Chain A
Amino acid sequence: MISMRDVSKQYVPDKPAALIDVNVDIEQGEFVFLVGHSGSGKSTFIRLMLREILPTTGTIAVAGQDLGKMRNWKVPFLRRNIGCVFQDFKLLPNKTTYENVAFALEVIGRSKHVIRTQVPEVLRLVGLEDKMESYPDELSGGEQQRVSIARAFVNRPPLLLADEPTGNLDPATSLGIMSILSRINKTGTTVLIATHDREMVDSMRKRVIALEGGRIIRDQSRGVYGYGD
C-alpha cells in the first residue's frame, strides 16, 4: 500500500532535515500507529503521502503509484484513494453533517443518487444517523471528529490517514474514535494514525512505527508507545 525507500525531506537547506533515510513498507489492510514527539517528522510523513510535498531524496509509492513521477494534474485522483482525518476536523461550519459528508462526493463529481445512498450509510457506520441535520457547532468534539471520519471514508478509499485524530478529545471519546477507525480497518482499508496519545497506542496493540528526529527508531508489530517520558 505504502512504500518508502531512503526518503529524506529537508524543508530549508542547512537546517536539520525533517525526515532522514526513512524506509517503510505498509501492506494493504494494516493498522499502523506513527508515534513520536512534536517535530519528530510525523506530519511530514503524512504530507509526503498526500503529495502535498515531494521528498528531497528517495522514492515514495502509494497505492502502486510513484509519487515522484506523478504529474500534478493526477494528484487529485491520488487523493480520492486516501481518506484524511485531522486534529481540527476541518468541517464547513455552514453545512450540516449530511452536507459536509455529501460535499466530499459532490466535488469529485459523484451523482446525486450515489450521494443519497452512500452518505446515510457511512453516517450509520460512525453512529451519527440521528445527527444528519445538525451543524458542526451543535455537535460535540467527538461527534465532529466522527463527521470528519465519515467524510474521509464515504468514498471508500483503500487508505485512511489520520493526523492526531484524538488530539483535541478526552480519553473516553478518543476510545470511541479508535473503535470506529478499527471498524473501518476491518473493511479492508489500510489505516495509518499519527499520534502521541500513549494510552490509545498501548491499548490497541497494533503495529507501531516510532520516529525521533526524523529517523525511524523502532518499527514493531503489536507494539506500544514506549517512550520513557
Chain B
Amino acid sequence: MAINLGYFVRESLVSFRRNWVMSLGAIITIYLSLLLVGASIGSSVVVNNIVQSVEDKVSIRIFLKDGAAPEDVESLQNALLKDERVKGVTYTSKEQALEELKKTMEDSPEIVDQLDVNPLPASLDVDLEDPRDVMDVVAFIKANPTFPNVADKPEEPEKSLKYGQQIVNQLFTFTRILRTIGVVFIAMLAVISLIFINNSIRLAIYARRKEIGIMRLVGASNWFIRTPFLMEGVVQSLIGALLTLGTLGLVNLYVVPIVRDQLPFLPFSISGTVAVQISLLLVISGIVIGVIGSGFALRRYLKV
C-alpha cells in the first residue's frame, strides 16, 4: 500500500493546487464553523462552571413567625436534618438577623437605628447536598405538618420561604438559549461547509475527468478512483480544524486571562482534559464533515 499512499497524497496536492480558490473557501468555512463549535463549547463549559458556583451557594431560608414554639421549630429542623438531600440546617434568631442587617447597612446605620422594634423574623437556613433538589425540598417543607405552625405567613407558604431557585432557573434558561442559538448556527455552518466541500470536490472531479475516464477504461478499482477525492475533502477539513485549534489556543492563552482579571469573582477557566476533549471533538468532526461532504460529491458526480 506504500506506493498507493504516495500516489494519493500526490494526487490530492496536485488537485489542491489546481483549484485552490475553492479549496480555500472550503477550508475557511470549515474553520469558521469549527471555531464556532469550539467557542460555544468552551463558553458553555465556562458558563456551567459559573452556574455551578452559583448553585453551590443555593440554600432555602424559612422565615419563622414571632413566638413560634421552639419545640415546633426543633421538630421541623430535625425532620429536615433526617432528609438525605439536606446538608445542614442553621437557626438564625431575630437578634442575629438584625445584627446581619446592621452589618450590611454599615454605610447608613441610621436606618437600622430608627427602628424601635425588630421587624425581622427568625429563620432556618437549609443547605442542600445537590442544588437540583431545591424544588423537591421546598415541597417537602410545605408538606411538613409543623410548617404552618412556625411559618411567618402560614396562609401564604411561598412568602415564608426564600430560595435561590429563581436565579438558577434564570441561569439555566440563559444557557439553554445560548446553547440553542449555538446549535442552530453550528448546524447552518456545517451545512455550508458541506456545500463548499461538495463543490470543491466537484470541481476537482471535473478538472480530472479525463484521467478518471482513462482510469475506468484500464480497470482502476472504484476505491482507487475515489480515494484521492475523499482524501482531498478530509485534508481540507483537517486544515480547517487545525486552524481552529490554533485560534482557540491563542484565545485561551491571551484573551481568557484578561477576562479573568476583569471578572475575578467568576470561575473562568477550562481544564486541560476538557481542552483535549474539545480538540479531539473538533478534529473528529472536521474529518466527519470532510468525509460526508466529499462522499456526497462522489456519489453525485463520480459514477464508477
Is the pairing of A and B real?
Answer: yes
**A residues at B contact (CB < 8 Å):** 50, 72-73, 76-82, 84, 90, 92, 103-104, 106-109, 111-112, 151-152, 155
Q: In whole Å, how far is B4's beta carbon from the nearest beta carbon of chain A?
A: 7
Quick one: closest B residue to A104, CB to CB? B218
Q: When chains A and B are docked, how far (Å) is the Cα of A77 from the Cα of B4?
A: 18
B7 within 8 A of A: yes
**Of B7, B210, B221, which one neighbours A92 at CB under 8 angstroms?**
B210
In the complex the two chains form, is B7's CB within 8 Å of A90's CB? Answer: no
B184 within 8 A of A: no
- CB neighbours (8 Å) of B217 from chain A are 50, 79, 84, 90
- CB neighbours (8 Å) of B220 from chain A are 76, 107-108
In the complex the two chains form, is A103's CB within 8 Å of B219's CB? Answer: no
In the complex the two chains form, is A90's CB within 8 Å of B214's CB? Answer: yes
- From residue 172 to 219 of chain B, which have CB atoms closer than 8 A to chain A? 210-211, 213-219
- CB neighbours (8 Å) of B221 from chain A are 73, 76-77, 108-109
15 CB < 8 A contacts A-B? A76-B219, A76-B221, A76-B222, A79-B216, A82-B219, A84-B217, A84-B218, A92-B211, A103-B211, A104-B218, A108-B218, A108-B220, A108-B221, A111-B3, A155-B218
In the complex the two chains form, is A106's CB within 8 Å of B214's CB? Answer: no
B301 within 8 A of A: no
Q: In whole Å, how far is B304's beta carbon from the nearest beta carbon of chain A?
A: 8
In the complex the two chains form, is B3's CB within 8 Å of A103's CB? Answer: no
Q: In whole Å, how far is B11's beta carbon from the nearest beta carbon of chain A?
A: 10
Q: In whole Å, how far is B123's beta carbon from the nearest beta carbon of chain A?
A: 77
Given contacts A92-B211, A109-B224, contact A77 B219 (CB under 8 A): yes
In the complex the two chains form, is B4's CB within 8 Å of A76's CB? Answer: no
Given contacts A90-B210, A109-B4, contact A79 B218 (CB under 8 A): yes
Residue from B3, B7, B219, B221 whose CB has the most chain A CB atoms within 10 Å:
B219
Q: When chains A and B are docked, how far (Å) is the Cα of A109 from the Cα of B224?
A: 9
In the complex the two chains form, is A92's CB within 8 Å of B219's CB? Answer: no
A interface footprint on B213-250 (CB within 8 Å = 1, 0 otherwise): 11111111110110000000000000000000000000
**Of B214, B222, B224, which one neighbours A104 at CB under 8 angstroms?**
B214
In the complex the two chains form, is B213's CB within 8 Å of A112's CB? Answer: no
Q: When chains A and B are docked, how far (Å) is the Cα of A151 from the Cα of B217?
A: 11
- CB neighbours (8 Å) of A92 from chain B are 210-211, 214
Quick one: closest B residue to A82, CB to CB? B219
Q: In whole Å, how far is B12's beta carbon from the nearest beta carbon of chain A?
A: 15
In the complex the two chains form, is B213's CB within 8 Å of A90's CB? Answer: yes
Quick one: closest B residue to A84, CB to CB? B217
- CB neighbours (8 Å) of B216 from chain A are 76, 79
In the complex the two chains form, is A79's CB within 8 Å of B3's CB? Answer: no
**Of B214, B222, B224, B225, which one neighbours A103 at CB under 8 angstroms?**
B214
Q: When chains A and B are docked, how far (Å) is the Cα of A95 from the Cα of B223?
A: 23
Q: When chains A and B are docked, how far (Å) is the Cα of A79 from the Cα of B224?
A: 14
- CB neighbours (8 Å) of B222 from chain A are 72-73, 76
- CB neighbours (8 Å) of A90 from chain B are 210, 213-214, 217
Q: When chains A and B are docked, how far (Å) is the Cα of A80 from the Cα of B214?
A: 12
Q: In whole Å, how far is B231's beta carbon from the nearest beta carbon of chain A?
A: 15
- CB neighbours (8 Å) of A78 from chain B are 219
In the complex the two chains form, is B3's CB within 8 Å of A107's CB? Answer: no
Q: In whole Å, how far is A164's beta carbon from the nearest beta carbon of chain B?
A: 15
Quick one: closest A residue to B223, CB to CB? A73
- CB neighbours (8 Å) of A111 from chain B are 3
Q: When chains A and B are docked, how far (Å) is the Cα of A151 from the Cα of B224?
A: 19
Q: When chains A and B are docked, how far (Å) is the Cα of A82 from the Cα of B218?
A: 8
Q: When chains A and B are docked, how far (Å) is the Cα of A84 from the Cα of B214?
A: 10
Quick one: closest A residue to B7, CB to CB? A106
Q: In whole Å, how far is B254's beta carbon from the nearest beta carbon of chain A?
A: 47
Q: In whole Å, how far is B201's beta carbon from the nearest beta carbon of chain A?
A: 19
